[in-house]
Amino acid sequence: MASAAEMTMHPRTAVIFPGQGSQALGMLQELAQQYQQIEQTFSEASATIDVDLWAVCQDEQRLSMTQFTQPALLTASIAIWRILETKLAKPPCYLAGHSLGEYSALCAAGVIPFADAVPLVYQRGQLMQEAVEGIPTAMAAVLGLEDQCVVTLCEQACELVDGAVVNAANFNSPGQVVVSGNQLGVDKVIDSVQSTGKKAIALKVSVPSHCSLMQPASDALAQTLAKISFSLPNIPVIQNRHARVEHSINDIKQALTEQLCEPVLWSQTMQALASKQITSLIECGNGNVLSNLAKRQAQPIPSYPVDKPTRLEKLLKELS
């Protein structure tokens, strides 16, 4: 393993892409005033689905609807990525994305053409919404418990409450696991967590991602993915399903398909990047959700959000 001195002399960067929950009304407006790539990328994306995605970013109601949230966030990430490509002295060593952000990472790596990626995540959002139509659903963040303890609480909820469905959905950092399922199941887990004296916070979401309720969406998504031509990545992408780089197009697609029903292994992804001697992370998307999570990992790596001109300038100064 490289020494601390060697790592300082030879910095190794990875770019990470956020997913749903990172959206914000009016996002990227400051960057758009300075970089024409923002408007150009949004115009390009909007044409692929006949939806004005920049207008969506100014409309709180539409931005909260998952079928619009997903293409808007992917477009925001790729717009910033296009700016980064002109600024970075050399490409990052690795890419990774949290949930929806995995599509942004694969697009940035040249696996999925941008013109295909936008309609793909637009359809992904629609399929996820359709999968739980008429079902009361929920997600909640569990704080302060070990991963396996949360998994056990989910299993117990399904056993004890008739009709309950709940799974561990996101392993975000040590002591932070998100659970997802129907209202019955998530409520039971929240009660169980609170009875231990720990916190469980209900999340404001429109669909319960990464749980077994998404199986119909996963099946339909697999059919769509089969029709899209992928390429092998020009930068390695660590995917959510197994927290590893997949080395064949079939495996990349399979990991994307299973991702809808299986948990996001983000803590494990951060461990993988640390083991590869990554010395800095660049959060390529709106906000700083992933940069905040990076501080809480077992092996923290400095992370820099770049969704505003001041943040981008700070990153470039640090890297120089």
Please pick, among 180, 210, 280, 291, the residue that the annotation labels catalytic: 210
Task: Give the up-direction half-sphere exposure of residue 105: CA atoms within 13 A in the CB hemisphere.
Answer: 28
- Partners of 142 in the beta sheet? 177, 200
Active site residue 98: no
Please pick, among 46, 99, 173, 280, the residue that the annotation labels catalytic: 99
Question: What token pair was written down for 291?
Answer: 């940069």
Q: How would DSSP label each residue in 15-81? A: EEE--TT---TTTTHHHHHH-HHHHHHHHHHHHHHT--HHHHTT-HHHHTSHHHHHHHHHHHHHHHH
Active site residue 242: no
C-alpha distances (whole Å) from 158 to each of 67, 145, 152, 183, 238 are: 29, 19, 10, 12, 31
140: helix, strand or coil: strand
Whether the Cβ atoms of residue 63 and residue 23 lie closer than 8 Å to each other: yes
| Residues that are catalytic | 99, 210
